[in-house]
Amino acid sequence: MEKTFIWGHRGSGFIGVQNTISSFQNAINNGVDGIKTEGQLSKDGEIFLTYYQSLKFNGEDKPIKELDSEEIKKFKLENGESIPSLSELFNEFQDYDIRYNFDIKTPEIGIRIIEIAEDYNLIDKVELAKAATDPSSLPLIFSKIRETNNKVTLINSIFLKHSNIDEEHFDLENMRKLNVKVINVNYNFVNFELFKKIKDAGFKLYVWGVLFKRTMQKFLKMEYKGQVVDAIYSNFPERLVNIRNEIQNNGKN
């Protein structure tokens, strides 16, 4: 039986402070297969790993894209750590066999992630996702990226504000044109029929927002023609790893 890939959302999710080196380390220690985070581009061309679009200095919000790296590193999170850069992430975990998954809001962020990943010889371990909160079209986010690199894994996160999710929302034509291999759907919309449609169309299915034991069990037991849900994102990755080990290592369905 195949095994579902587990992404630690912003590291260890709700345990500790998200998107910190310590959170990423904790997730890896607990057995995740990869780290899911967000990339933001600084004024001087560095990628920082945070969902914040701006930082508050002296009571004033300043967009990250207007701050240079030195200014961003001065900002301290709740545990006293600084917002990590992508280079710091790659340096810190270079000895681990893990993958990296980044939500991006602009093609420029994705292109810069690719450049840094290539410098570290890690491009084969990088995945780039359109955020589920972003209604932008796939070509707007991914066309320039495909001109830069034709192999990096791209993820189509279905826009969260649809009242339901069906094949019409996948944009299969552009997915095939842009070689987007993955469809990422919020757990509320995933059932066996949707899983079947995605697999029959030849794509991978990622499920995000999975928090509770019963929901984890549901998706880890879902199987079609010997295929399982390809990956799950969770803010409780340790719990998800333990349940996966119980279900999929023993081949129970």
> Taking residues 29-53, what's their average pLDDT?
97
Q: What number is the average pLDDT over the span 26-33?
A: 97
Buried b / exposed e over 151-188, threshold 16 CB at 10 Å, is ebbbbbbbbbeeeebeeeebbbeebeebebebbbbbbe
Q: What is the pLDDT of residues 87-124, one digit of tens each?
A: 999 999 999 999 999 999 999 999 999 999 999 999 99
Structural domain includes residue 167: yes
Q: How confident is the model at residue 35 (pLDDT cuts 50, 70, 90)?
A: very high
Cα dihedral 19/21/22/24 (nearest 10): 70
Q: Is residue 147 situated within a structural domain?
A: yes
C-alpha radius of gyration, the chain, whole number: 18
Residue 121, domain extent: 5-247
CA distance 5 to 3: 6
Is 130 inside any structural domain?
A: yes
> What are 215's two structure tokens?
């929901």
Exposure class string for 1-37: b at 16+ Cβ within 10 A, else e: eeebbbbbbbbbbebbebbbbebbbbbbebebbbbbb
- Mean residue pLDDT across the chain: 94
- Tell me if 252 is assigned to some domain: no
For residue 52, CA distances in Å to 19, 37, 85, 143, 229 come to 10, 11, 13, 25, 30
Using a pLDDT cut of 70, give the percent of the chain over it: 95
User: Which pTM does this prediction carry?
Assistant: 0.94
Model confidence at 250, pLDDT cuts 50, 70, 90, reads low
CA–CA distance, 105 with 48 (Å, rounded to integer):
13
Judge whether 253 lies within some domain: no
In a domain, 30, yes or no: yes
pLDDT at 12 over 60: yes
Number of domains in the chain: 1
Q: What is the pLDDT of residues 136-185, one digit of tens each?
A: 999 999 999 999 999 999 999 998 766 666 667 789 999 999 999 999 99
CATH number at residue 128: 3.20.20.190
pLDDT recorded at residue 57: 86
Tell me the two tokens of residue 119: 């410098």
Measuring CA to CA, how many Å separate 89 from each of 14, 25, 94, 179, 220?
Answer: 19, 10, 8, 27, 29
- pLDDT in the model for residue 59: 86
Residue 19 sits at φ, ψ, to 5 deg, of 55, 45
* Confidence category of residue 251, pLDDT binned at 50, 70, 90: very low
